[in-house]
Structure 1
């Protein structure tokens, strides 16, 4: 049902009671009601600066509201993912991943440390493994490793202060998933994840009766996880049961009705204003009722007008015939190939998406073509008229005392638009929804999304004809993203897009450079949806071929009547050899428990592994022959 959300608090596991909050002397929301029930999977949407992240922090108990309170079920565990996680007082990944108050996690941490410790005694090792068995922690240990491997976290002793911003975000998300809280509150969880990991995360969060509240710009992610969209708009929450496409449709209807009602109220208010001015001071009872109605009407007339949107309309520099040519370009670091023997000639109208796992070489490729890195080998030739606009995912660089207007004037005081009009830096900021009070404010006071919008404006105002966007959807609100998409659909220059947002890649690109991670870059004609579908079909064909081969092998076995004399002798011999090997392993294990000599322990352990390997091979052969006895 469309309208203000009013859920029954008695069945909610987390809710607010008349919560109000102010920020920088401005009320974000007043008397807000927000409730979550077990199993809800809710997306919170709204333009930058409306207070989405603030509301998430209030619900998670990280900040106190200015007024009102949050009520939660007794013993409720809330997992909160920050946009920018804080790891104060934590030195290594180990310190963060394994909680002090979780016995299983601390035991797994001890086990991992023993594996790496060469001086450990067999008694200590056996004691820890036995405790893990008693706590049924082996499966939990496997789940932890699966999650950490998915997020490319393997070195538990790595210092947290050596991690990049993206690595820290992935580490924080991994920890939250390991802890399995009662409620997952996630602020932009897909930022810094590759597409494969996002698809894995979608399955994890939508499996079982998980309760999820998230803020995300990724429309495919929202559709695949959430069953409900809640919009925070002008201090109120509007509820839409359904996916993101349904939300867009119903939101447009609501806004159109509100604008229409406000326009009618304004027209009627003007007539009543004329009556008010003509009335004498002494008024009767009917006149007083009409006066009260006038003030109610005045309030309604202040309702919404047609909403301002970001305006993207800048001039594109002229582009010559030669744009950018790569001939047998390679880039290597010690012991690793990043890009190997890649060639491509960019053509007018190219719209290319870069796909591949994190660390596969996408950002390196962008730095190569913009001459921030030099290739190890090969030739990279840039056309004389090629003018790059490079939007980097790291964000803006600014000083604490810089004002928003200064950031723009550092590039240019005047900017030429697509229609030939020349406007001032201040006028351009207004088109990007930065009103005068924000223009003269400090950049440090802007929200994360507003900083990204300012960065995008700085890139576009240079009139590039070769636009490189590295994760442009991170922290941009969906309304700004929609405007950006419309602009890019009509953009006449070269577009090179790196994004984990599958919707964005599908809508804006016609070709992919697929980074395999071993230096190989494959050129694919089509967008990500085409590529994914083709991969699924190839996987299905491979599985079909495997099943066909299995049937052939079964048929061949069925056709085989009995063992030959030689195979019969081998079968009998194997039975004795297997028994001997099992006895050897038993003896070696006994020696392992009684020795304290580290060198001797290492030799015994290696001998056990070697004997086990031999036992496995012989057992497998014995089982193969046993089928025909």
Structure 2
């Protein structure tokens, strides 16, 4: 069943044609990925299909009663509303029912309203749906639903927007770079969710593992033409290579035929006969094919690197805290030539703080950092990508240098360098404000490499870059003779480029793991299964002990030992459960504030002290709860 059809749609931005006369459709059950270079209009196309923008020509038809949910690359959320209002307030009767129920639960004094909400939940059969929403929010680590959206970081806003799209239970889900700002656990959960859910999907993503495991259809937009491949990303790569090989052979054959036919045309044939007319028509068709050009332009990265001396970077007993919250605790490491290290850890574990310590943006509380005299850092920082909006692309580069030294003693002009980074002559005079997200990142990377660094620190370099540019960047980094330190949620990128990892485990603990992310994931899966096995063994042991106790309790004395809860203890047990829920909620609120970049040092110090108190209270209440639960059983 066809859900959506696009017929002959075109879109331009000023004089720049993004795409022209595209025709395609999306059927029920298809999970489609759109692949194209940066600046070719991927985001614009998704917005047109989602009804958020209009095309210049052509039509988009959506099947009646089809519900579409759209995740924008840069979500435009209501900043003055809470997460709760944003997630639940949708044109969806089930969501409205659940919203009324959640509000009634909060105002539990009004039993009449609560009963009405429960009855409505029953009649709408919304209980499973409610649990599903809570699972989605939990997996995306959205705990404090009363937070104002305006107080959230960019990554938190993206996760809220993702939740808003998923909870709508749409027929067609349109996602623009869904894995940006998600940690590894979230990406893997989303991957499994989209793979198993009966939802049709259209998405743009640079995550190649994600493409391979989720998608069953690839649409490639290249040189204004749309190519369709029925299969996953690996299948697409194979068939694309075959297509390009066949296309090149067809062009070569047409060129040979064109040269022969051109001589015949120059002899001025009289086009009176039917055969002559047919041959002339055929000549012009051959000419079109022969004069085709295969666009094989790729970013060329061969910038000269400054010489790296014997001493590179040494960290000795490094410490950094915000209040009582430890970010780095007594960490030591001596960087060696050609070190290729990946950084892994949940949001708020201290990764960004660590990078700022290395680049002298923050000072350590203890220990010392010794940087070699020859080290030139190149720090690709998401927060630091502030390009001047009112300048043209070539002006941004010329502000750094008119001529750029290259490898093997060569040099390039600013214009020549930009051509290597796929900025054509016209694009070089485009204002930065007109560039797409991927083009901005390509320009930022260009300005970074112009400084000839020998120690690259890359903080989420893959976000918004197209797959073709990523492949070239990976090739360059693979041969880069300096040191690499990478923070990325792109698992393929990490697996290809890193040889060991710094694992940020929280509370300032950093572990040096010998292996890439794939090795680390396998290691964690083994540990998880061992934990599960230990838990099952403990359960069996507890059951065995309980059986022995019940067998022994045949005498009046033994029966007295297996007494039941008193009324007072029963009340205490119930109260402990409520207290623990309140403490867990507050713990989640504080954790969310820790992740926010807006929190100041004083606030963090107070919250750290409160968190410590909460953890102690939880521990005490859990012990008492276990004692009482034994009596209950």
- TM-score between the two structures when normalised by the length of structure 2: 0.85
Partner of 1:308: 297
Deviates more, 1:487-496 or 1:134-143: 134-143
Other structure's SS at 1:33 match: strand
Partner of 1:568: 559
> Does the 8 Å CA contact 1:468/1:497 hold for their aligned counterparts?
yes
Other structure's SS at 1:14 match: strand
Shift of 1:15: 1.3
Once the two structures are superposed, what CA deviation does each residue of 1:236-279 show, in whole Å capped at 9, x if it has no partner? 22122222122111101101211221122223223322332231
Deviates more, 1:510-519 or 1:147-156: 147-156
Shift of 1:281: 6.9
Shift of 1:500: 0.4
Other structure's SS at 2:203 match: strand
For the residues of structure 1 that align with 2:280 and 2:16, how far apart are their CA atoms? 31
Other structure's SS at 2:552 match: coil
> Does the 8 Å CA contact 2:318/2:328 hold for their aligned counterparts?
yes
Shift of 1:105: 3.8
Other structure's SS at 1:463 match: coil
Alignment of 1:621 onto 2:631: yes
Task: Classify 1:385/1:115 alpha carbon distance in 2 versus 1 (closer, same or farther; 3 Å).
Answer: farther
Counterpart mapping for 1:190-339 below 5 A? 190-279=179-268, 284-305=273-294, 307-339=296-328
> Does the 8 Å CA contact 1:231/1:237 hold for their aligned counterparts?
yes
For the residues of structure 1 that align with 2:346 and 2:568, how far apart are their CA atoms? 47
Alignment of 1:46 onto 2:29: no
Other structure's SS at 2:198 match: coil
Alignment of 1:94 onto 2:84: yes
Other structure's SS at 2:18 match: strand
RMSD: 3.0
Other structure's SS at 1:411 match: coil
Alignment of 1:165 onto 2:175: no
Task: Classify 1:308/1:622 alpha carbon distance in 2 versus 1 (closer, same or farther; 3 Å).
Answer: closer
Partner of 1:590: none
Task: Classify 1:420/1:129 alpha carbon distance in 2 versus 1 (closer, same or farther; 3 Å).
Answer: same
Task: Classify 1:101/1:257 alpha carbon distance in 2 versus 1 (closer, same or farther; 3 Å).
Answer: closer
Shift of 1:487: 0.6
For the residues of structure 2 that align with 1:37 and 1:151, how far apart are their CA atoms? 28
> Does the 8 Å CA contact 1:20/1:31 hold for their aligned counterparts?
yes
Partner of 1:32: 22
Partner of 1:148: 137
Alignment of 1:525 onto 2:519: no
> Does the 8 Å CA contact 1:262/1:305 hold for their aligned counterparts?
no
Other structure's SS at 2:165 match: helix
For the residues of structure 2 that align with 1:188 and 1:481, how far apart are their CA atoms? 14
Deviates more, 1:71-80 or 1:256-265: 256-265
For the residues of structure 2 that align with 1:622 and 1:444, how far apart are their CA atoms? 66
> Does the 8 Å CA contact 2:77/2:161 hold for their aligned counterparts?
no
> Does the 8 Å CA contact 2:381/2:458 hold for their aligned counterparts?
yes
Other structure's SS at 1:504 match: helix
Other structure's SS at 1:48 match: coil
> Does the 8 Å CA contact 1:184/1:213 hold for their aligned counterparts?
yes
Partner of 2:379: 390
Partner of 2:592: none
Other structure's SS at 1:393 match: coil
Other structure's SS at 2:408 match: coil
Once the two structures are superposed, what CA deviation does each residue of 1:478-505 show, in whole Å capped at 9, x if it has no partner? 1111111111111000000111011110
Deviates more, 1:106-115 or 1:463-472: 106-115
Aligned partner of 2:60 among 56, 70, 95 = 70
Other structure's SS at 1:355 match: strand
Counterpart mapping for 1:393-542 below 5 A? 393-394=382-383, 396-542=385-531
Partner of 1:80: 70
Partner of 2:48: 58
> Does the 8 Å CA contact 2:92/2:168 hold for their aligned counterparts?
no
For the residues of structure 1 that align with 2:629 and 2:542, how far apart are their CA atoms? 20
Shift of 1:47: 1.2
Deviates more, 1:540-549 or 1:233-242: 540-549
> Does the 8 Å CA contact 1:331/1:339 hold for their aligned counterparts?
yes
For the residues of structure 2 that align with 1:484 and 1:618, how far apart are their CA atoms? 59
For the residues of structure 2 that align with 1:371 and 1:313, how far apart are their CA atoms? 28
Other structure's SS at 2:333 match: strand
Deviates more, 1:200-209 or 1:537-546: 537-546
For the residues of structure 1 that align with 2:45 and 2:632, how far apart are their CA atoms? 64
Shift of 1:78: 0.4
For the residues of structure 2 that align with 1:569 and 1:467, how far apart are their CA atoms? 70
Deviates more, 1:35-44 or 1:12-21: 12-21
* Rg larger for: 1
> Does the 8 Å CA contact 1:18/1:33 hold for their aligned counterparts?
yes
For the residues of structure 1 that align with 2:418 and 2:158, how far apart are their CA atoms? 31
Shift of 1:306: 5.6
Task: Classify 1:280/1:16 alpha carbon distance in 2 versus 1 (closer, same or farther; 3 Å).
Answer: closer
> Does the 8 Å CA contact 1:411/1:458 hold for their aligned counterparts?
yes
Shift of 1:182: 1.0
For the residues of structure 1 that align with 2:439 and 2:280, how far apart are their CA atoms? 43
Other structure's SS at 1:318 match: coil
> Does the 8 Å CA contact 1:327/1:380 hold for their aligned counterparts?
yes
> Does the 8 Å CA contact 2:33/2:219 hold for their aligned counterparts?
yes
For the residues of structure 2 that align with 1:20 and 1:166, how far apart are their CA atoms? 32
Shift of 1:30: 3.3
- TM-score between the two structures when normalised by the length of structure 1: 0.86
> Does the 8 Å CA contact 2:97/2:117 hold for their aligned counterparts?
no
Alignment of 1:20 onto 2:30: no
For the residues of structure 2 that align with 1:133 and 1:177, how far apart are their CA atoms? 20
For the residues of structure 1 that align with 2:89 and 2:60, how far apart are their CA atoms? 26
Note the residue ranges of structure 2 that are not aligned, 5 or more in a row. 575-622
For the residues of structure 2 that align with 1:569 and 1:28, how far apart are their CA atoms? 82
Other structure's SS at 2:352 match: helix
Shift of 1:581: 5.3
Shift of 1:420: 1.7
Note the residue ranges of structure 1 that are not aligned, 5 or more in a row. 1-10, 586-612, 624-629
Shift of 1:224: 1.5
For the residues of structure 2 that align with 1:166 and 1:22, how far apart are their CA atoms? 30
Shift of 1:474: 0.6
